[in-house]
Structure 1
Amino acid sequence: MGKIILVRHGESKLNVKGVYYGILNPELTEKGKQQANQAREILKNINYHKIFASDLKRAVDTAEIINCKELDILIHRDLRELNFGIFEGQTYTQLLEKYPEELKESQKNWENYNYITGESVLQLQKRAIAFIEREINLEENTVLVTHWGVINTILSYYFSKNLDSYWKFSVKNGGIVIIEFSDGYPILKGLNIGG
């Protein structure tokens, strides 16, 4: 019986600005570093065998803070946030002005809408699950330091059909989610711990 321990990165400088961003690469805020330190305190009580992180700075920096066992952090591009393409760095108000039709379509067809030069939420889910199936031993405890979209696609995959529950989880910056696997069967053991 093993666990996937999902940790959302601490607050970043673009979280504060309220823009669409996935592949943009901001640093953590001071609050984000505090959130990561709180997650570290929780992880001190959880045994883990490996730690992976998205290759984006906010996730790598969070991983370095929370890694209380001081294992090598395995950096992986497949744990990146959704690529919002032409929406990257834009506020909702800016999108209403610049890309009103694209914004409307992204809301109506959110699972499959490809963010023009980006990717769809369904593509993100396929990428995240392929990573787990390829890289994770479900008999061990593995920490994945990643992003809201990645975490929610994983939760939706294991606990509902495809993306049916994608919008039903609220994982805060620095929050920890624990999925335990019993003979490959997923059990949600913790949601938003510490976040």
Structure 2
Amino acid sequence: MPLKSFTITLIRHGETEENSLGIIQGQSDTKLNATGIQQAQLLAATFPIEEYSIAYSSDLSRAYDTCRVILSDSPQAKSGASLKDIRTDVRLRERSFGPLEGQSLDALIKLAKEHNTSVVNFVPEGGESPEDIRRRVRNFVETRLLEEAQKESTDDRALKILLVSHGGAIRELINYFVSFGHHSFKAQKEKTRIIPPNTSVNDFLVHYDLQTFAASPVKTVECLRLHDVSHLPESFQKQALSQKQVNDHYKGPAV
């Protein structure tokens, strides 16, 4: 049987006050600030939401509200021809940092150094490890996402899925897709390691087979677009791309 496929667009939520101040948010339910709302509105103005059949979001407000703005403020929504239902899933939440949530990024860096480990791999008591978040986003893809994609797919229309989540969760989703090794990722290798900028757009073409008995039903993935913030004015682009990187393996700017 031929492989089934769909295009998925991963979008990081807009800016929050904590985000702008370098405060660890994790699974705290922080809200979009005025800049974050404006970023989402600017994306909505050119986003072809009429092409999408499914919208997923983390249940945390900053992601859900970004998704809601994209759906409600698109030109198609104003004419009544837009996707309205948002499906939430707790597996799309940001990585938990336990008691460090609400503290500065510098506090995390300091503790990691004291424990003689990397910032990425340091796990605060009660928080999640990189493997924890990696496992749950993969579980989301290989169970709910693929099963619902198969139900929604038709022969006359290419299925497109919108997913709004958080920087760490999206980075793990991107790395999961990278693991399937399609050549289209080679030119983007360094970019796959960074935390996506606020309201950045990432597109992937996913080929899968739910009848397989292999380790994963995903077979190949093509990278179509990565960390695109062209919908933002130049000043916003610089702001979105200048965030600190909690990543020991990438030392360059988030571009």
Go from structure 1 to structure 2 and tell me whether the alpha carbon gap of 1:2 and 1:88 turns closer, same or farther (over 3 Å shift).
same
Q: Work out which of the residue numbers 84, 89, 111 in structure 1 matches 2:97.
A: 84
Quote the Cα distance in structure 2 between the aligned partners of 1:133 and 1:155: 14
Go from structure 1 to structure 2 and tell me whether the alpha carbon gap of 1:121 and 1:106 turns closer, same or farther (over 3 Å shift).
farther
1:188 partnered with 2:207: no
Which secondary structure state, in structure 2, belongs to the residue aligned with residue 143 of structure 1?
Answer: strand
Quote the Cα distance in structure 1 between the aligned partners of 2:174 and 2:205: 12
Unaligned runs of 5+ in 1: none
Q: Aligned residues: percent identity? A: 26
Question: Aligned residue for 2:32?
Answer: 28
Go from structure 1 to structure 2 and tell me whether the alpha carbon gap of 1:187 and 1:103 turns closer, same or farther (over 3 Å shift).
same
TM-score (norm 2): 0.66
Equivalent runs, 1:21-100 vs 2, <5 Å: 21-44=25-48, 47-67=51-71, 68=74, 69-95=82-108, 100=110
Please report how far the alpha carbon of residue 160 of structure 1 lies from its aligned counterpart in structure 2 after TM superposition.
Answer: 3.9
Amino acid across the alignment from 1:49: S
Unaligned runs of 5+ in 2: 75-81, 154-158, 181-188, 209-218, 231-255
Please report how far the alpha carbon of residue 110 of structure 1 lies from its aligned counterpart in structure 2 after TM superposition.
Answer: 2.8
**Given that residues 156 and 165 in structure 1 are in contact (C-alpha distance below 8 angstroms), is that contact kept between their aligned partners in structure 2?**
no
Quote the Cα distance in structure 1 between the aligned partners of 2:63 and 2:220: 28
1:129 partnered with 2:154: no
**Given that residues 153 and 166 in structure 1 are in contact (C-alpha distance below 8 angstroms), is that contact kept between their aligned partners in structure 2?**
no
1:108 partnered with 2:118: yes
Please report how far the alpha carbon of residue 151 of structure 1 lies from its aligned counterpart in structure 2 after TM superposition.
Answer: 0.8
Quote the Cα distance in structure 2 between the aligned partners of 1:179 and 1:171: 15
RMSD over equivalenced CA pairs, Å: 2.5
Q: Deviations over 1:81-112 (max 9, x none)?
A: 0001122111144456xxx454544842734x
Aligned residues: 189
Please report how far the alpha carbon of residue 169 of structure 1 lies from its aligned counterpart in structure 2 after TM superposition.
Answer: 3.2
TM-score (norm 1): 0.85
Amino acid across the alignment from 2:57: A
**Given that residues 10 and 31 in structure 1 are in contact (C-alpha distance below 8 angstroms), is that contact kept between their aligned partners in structure 2?**
yes
Amino acid across the alignment from 2:120: W
Amino acid across the alignment from 1:110: V
Q: Deviations over 1:146-189 (max 9, x none)?
A: 0010111111122148xx97972352101110111245410010
Higher Cα radius of gyration: 2
1:6 partnered with 2:16: no
**Given that residues 8 and 151 in structure 1 are in contact (C-alpha distance below 8 angstroms), is that contact kept between their aligned partners in structure 2?**
yes
Question: Aligned residue for 1:117?
Answer: 126
Which secondary structure state, in structure 2, belongs to the residue aligned with residue 149 of structure 1?
Answer: helix
Which secondary structure state, in structure 2, belongs to the residue aligned with residue 78 of structure 1?
Answer: helix
Q: Deviations over 1:124-162 (max 9, x none)?
A: 01101110111123553211110010111111122148x
